[in-house]
């Protein structure tokens, strides 16, 4: 029998349904999915439980505020930043949504991530979406950049699979990873950062292709240069360009509010495998050229 679902079938693709249903049940599920798909974009986030890693950062805070306009049931913010005043501000925004903050450093061992997630699942019983947004930008800090931007994201994603994987009787889920335009085309003066974001984009596209096995869909949101504290000043790799930030900020950028508006629109589209480009108010799903096919 199809596992208990804690979210609309709309975000589970037909292949997932097929592998669990007897032919005579398929029609019933196809009709349910079709109905859910038709209404999904209007009220998809309503009443959902969302975990937002790095929800208090500059992009994170405005995106949390934008999410709170969608009548979520729960918004659980995990972050290394501990700013109670920001959490209080978020709690005041929408009485329909319960905002919770829990301290979390994505570089902890995966067992710690699982312990934290178990506390959340024990409390909420059901989580619909995990947003992984932690990131640092300093190409002097090679190990830290990879640990936060990539390994931390992979570990947090892997940890939640204990609770979501349909092969373990889980309900499935949705992963939204914050990549970057530098994951498509690098800022060559910060190759370590850009490489970590390319890794996020690549990892997430694999998750999306595995959704028919795991029941967990995935996509990336990839902001362009957004005016935040992260980009104000940062080190280039081996100091190849001491003025990298100043040079980049001479070109068009976007505000965190513009980024947040596109970010939540991408979440509402809920497209498995989405490669969302978010820059200066533009939201575009990038077509990735295939140069090689593993044929498996
Ligand atoms: N600002 C931009 O131009 C831009 C563009 C594309 C992508 N991004 C990405 O967007 C995300 C947010 O960046 P931002 O510009 O808002 O900068 P920011 O510095 O305000 O946000 C970074 C967030 O990551 C969190 N974080 C860092 N290390 C962590 C750790 N070890 N454990 C848990 N959380 C940790 C911070 O606490 C903060 O919430 C980052 O992943 C960044 O790479 C930013
Ligand atoms: C100004 C440089 C911004 C780099 C962050 C893009 O992910």
Assigned domain for 60 exists? yes
**CA 295 to CA 196: how far, in whole Å?**
26
Query: What does pTM read for this prediction?
Result: 0.89
ipTM: 0.98
- Is residue 221, in this structure, part of any structural domain at all? yes
Q: pLDDT tens digits for 77-118?
A: 999 998 999 999 999 999 999 999 999 999 999 999 999 999
CB 62 within 8 A of CB 259: yes
Rounded to 5 degrees, what are φ and ψ at 171? Answer: -90, 0
Q: What is d(CA 173, CA 219) in angstroms, rounded to the nearest whole number?
A: 12
Say which ligand is closest to the CA of 254: 1
Average pLDDT over residues 147-175: 98
Closest CA to 229 of 164, 155, 135: 135
pLDDT score recorded for residue 82: 86
Give the residue, by CA position, lying nearest to ligand 1 atom 32: 105
Q: Does 198 reside within a domain? A: yes
| Lining residues, ligand 2, CB within 6 Å | 137, 180, 182, 187, 197, 225, 231, 245, 248-249
pLDDT tens, position by position, 224-270: 999 999 899 999 999 999 999 999 999 999 999 999 999 999 999 99
> In the chain, pLDDT over 70 holds for what percent of residues?
86
231 lies in a domain? Answer: yes
The answer to the question of residue 205 being in a domain is yes
Q: Residue 41 above 60 pLDDT?
A: no
Say how many Å lie between the CA of residue 231 and the centre of ligand 2: 6
28 falls in which pLDDT band (50, 70, 90)? very low
Confirm whether 291 is domain-assigned: no
At residue 22 the predicted structure's pLDDT band, cuts being 50, 70 and 90, is low
Nearest in space to 54 (alpha carbons), one of 85, 78, 72 = 78
Whole-number Å distance between alpha carbons of 212 and 281: 32
Alpha carbon of 187 to ligand 2 centroid (Å): 8
pLDDT at 159: 99
Number of domains in the chain: 1
Containing structural domain, residue 178: 2-37+44-285
Query: Which CATH number covers residue 115?
Result: 3.40.50.720
Active-site residue 150, yes or no? no
b/e for 2-22, b at 16 or more Cβ within 10 A? ebebbbbbbbbbeebbeeebe
pLDDT at 11 over 50: no
Band (pLDDT 50/70/90 cuts) for residue 216 is: very high
**Mean pLDDT computed over 127-144:** 98
In what helix (H) or strand (E) does residue 14 lie, and over which residues does it extend?
Answer: helix 14-18
Whether residue 199 is contained in a domain is answered as yes
> Is residue 296 domain-resident?
no
User: Which residue has its alpha carbon closest to ligand 1 atom 21?
Assistant: 57
Q: Helices marked H in 68-190 — which ranges?
A: 84-91, 110-124, 142-146, 152-164
């Amino acid at each position: 029998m199809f596992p208990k679902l804690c979210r609309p079938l709309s975000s589970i693709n037909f292949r997932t349904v097929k592998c669990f249903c007897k032919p005579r049940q398929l029609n019933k599920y196809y009709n349910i999915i079709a109905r859910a798909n038709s209404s999904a974009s209007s009220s998809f986030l309503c009443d959902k439980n969302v975990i937002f890693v790095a929800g208090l950062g500059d992009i994170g805070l405005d995106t949390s505020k934008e999410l709170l306009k969608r009548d979520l049931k729960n918004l659980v913010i995990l972050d290394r930043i501990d700013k109670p005043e920001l959490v209080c501000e978020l709690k005041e925004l929408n009485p329909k949504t319960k905002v919770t903050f829990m301290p979390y450093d994505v570089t902890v061992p995966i067992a710690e991530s699982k312990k934290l997630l178990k506390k959340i699942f024990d409390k909420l019983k059901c989580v619909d979406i995990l947003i992984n947004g932690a990131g640092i930008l300093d190409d002097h800090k090679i190990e830290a950049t990879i640990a936060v931007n990539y390994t931390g994201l992979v570990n947090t994603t892997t940890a939640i699979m204990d609770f979501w994987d349909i092969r373990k009787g889980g309900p499935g889920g949705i992963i939204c990873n914050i990549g970057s335009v530098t994951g498509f085309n690098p800022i060559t003066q910060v190759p370590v950062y850009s490489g970590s974001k390319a890794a996020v984009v690549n990892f997430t596209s694999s998750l999306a292709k595995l959704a028919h096995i795991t029941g967990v869909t995935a996509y990336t949101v990839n902001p362009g240069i957004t005016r935040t504290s992260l980009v104000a000043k940062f080190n280039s790799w081996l100091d190849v360009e001491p003025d990298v930030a100043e040079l980049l900020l001479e070109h068009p950028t976007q505000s965190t509010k513009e980024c947040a508006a596109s970010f939540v629109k991408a979440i509402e589209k809920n497209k498995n495998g989405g490669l969302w480009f978010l820059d200066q108010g533009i939201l575009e799903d990038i077509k990735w050229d295939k140069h090689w096919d593993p044929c498996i």
